[in-house]
Amino acid sequence: MRVLLPVSTLAIMFLAPNHFMLAQQLPRGLRLADLTWLQAADVLSPDTVVVIPLGAGSKEHGPHLKLGNDAIVSEYLTQRLTVASDVVVAPSLPYHYFPAFVEYPGSTSLTLDTARALTVDAVVGLSRFGPRRFYVINTGVSTTRALEPAARQLAAQGILLTFTDLAGRLERASAAIRKEEGGTHADEVETSMMLYIDPASVEMRRAVKEYNPSPGPLQLTRRRGAPGTFSESGVWGDPTLATREKGKIIVEALVSGILEDVEALRRATPPSPSAVTTAPPPPPQSTMAPSRATARPQSCTAGDERTIRGFADAFTFHWSNGDAQSLSRLWSIDGDMVHPDGLTERGRETIRANRAALFMRQEYRSSKHPLTFGNVRCINPDTAVVDGKWELRGVLDSSGKALPPYDGLLTLVMARGATGWAIEAYRYTQKPAATPMPTWLQRPGYPGR
């Protein structure tokens, strides 16, 4: 039973005047806050895509943008999605992981573990009524450090969570029009977006350029000489270059990307909880003193091993769904993959772009790529080496004829970072085959060249 309701008054209030007509359209999606529990029972089903808006309710954005900037963006993107897509929108998350801005009055941030747990608990609570597909409209960058482990934790429960790759989408959307030398916060891009979304919330006369290159994760500070990146204004970039015209290009590309994400999620198959490999129970502890050969302490817990082994199922699952974005997130930011011929794909974004190109090719469009992990050895509490096997089947030749399966051995180096375990290095060998696999990587990290 489909319940149709008008857009809430609150949603209309958040919209910029130049988008007021958008609020007059009958939306395809619904907001849980507008329903009774009886109506919610009708719309929450295993096929429902539940959207969770995530935008900081109070986070500094320089002297020219409001503390609630991200919440305004999140509400706008949610409204655009609700009008265009058959989704159910859950209450937003105004508190999350924003550690880079806490020195500026009014800015708030949860700890990483709290942000992860908040996301997981919100999703699990709604999944009890049927839904298994959840999408976070993510308007932050540091938030991904909590969303990634949350997604892995939820996958073990048979729930599929994906979210907006904000940094990647904004980078691609602004590449041709961006003029500032660098920066990612309250900068040319973000200010241009606000000039398009809600120009009344922008005080351009207060906009200032402030950009000091930062080699590591962004951590702004108001204290000159303190650890981090000094910014007296809270700006990291050049908002004086912002225009509404640039904002329109960037925002419309972002909206299109979010719609693509949601439809890809709708088509994807949620993982099966039973498919997650569990580690065997540890042997009983001996009461005898360990010998010199066995005295080395265990540095990998049973939980660590279960998490690491779950990567095999996650890889297999994301490949089967042609989900390059989720597949690439199994790697760390700087992780790599080295092929048997020596070609190297370096960095998560390169791996994502190459898999996206691969899944578009006829030869690989319906392929399956299961991994099987064997020995998992933790060298220390934060580093593990994994040995296993891989198989690739369902590959076609250029004429559309099915090729025989391919297989071989693999070795992974995995490391535990701030967001949990991730692949740092992926190496594999291929058993001799009568028919070679179709070649698509001609240069390291570049498909089809």
pLDDT tens figures, 123-143 = 999 999 999 999 999 999 999
Q: Are 124 and 158 in contact (CB under 8 A)?
A: no
Whether 322 and 365 have beta carbons less than 8 Å apart is answered as yes
Angle at 190 between CA 186 and CA 193, to 5 degrees: 145
Between 8 and 314, residue with greater pLDDT: 314
**What are 417's strand-pairing partners?**
420
Question: Using an 8 Å Cβ cutoff, are 425 and 412 in contact?
Answer: yes
Instruction: Determine how many CB atoms are found less than 10 A away from the CB of residue 190.
Output: 28
3-state secondary structure of 54: strand
Lowest mean pLDDT among 2-16, 77-91, 146-160, 330-344: 2-16
Q: Alpha-carbon distance 82 to 279, whole Å?
A: 42
Choose among 59, 57, 60: nearest CA to 72: 57
CA distance 234 to 5: 41
pLDDT recorded at residue 137: 98
And the tokens for 231? 């910014």
* Domain ranges (residues) in the chain: 9-267, 286-447
pLDDT level of residue 122 (50, 70, 90 thresholds): very high
Rounded-to-integer distance, Cα 250 and Cα 302, Å: 45
What pLDDT is stored for residue 23 in this prediction?
47
Domain 286-447 CATH (choose: 1.10.3720.10, 3.30.70.3340, 3.20.20.140, 3.10.450.50): 3.10.450.50
Tell me which CATH code domain 9-267 carries: 3.40.50.10310
Q: Is pTM, for the whole model, over 0.75?
A: no
- What is the crossing angle of helices 144-155 and 112-127, to 10°? 40
CA nearest 395: which of 385, 406, 384, 387?
Answer: 406
Pick from 436, 158, 187: which is nearest to 274 by CA? 158
Across the range 255-273, mean pLDDT stands at 93
447 pLDDT more than 70: no
pLDDT digits (tens, 9 = 90+) for 348-375: 888 988 888 888 888 888 899 999 999 9
- For residue 241, the surrounding DSSP H or E stretch is none
Which tens digits make up the pLDDT trace of 402-446?
889 999 999 999 998 766 789 999 999 999 887 888 777 655 555
What six digits make up the tokens of 360? 């578009």
Q: Cβ(84)–Cβ(259) under 8 Å?
A: yes
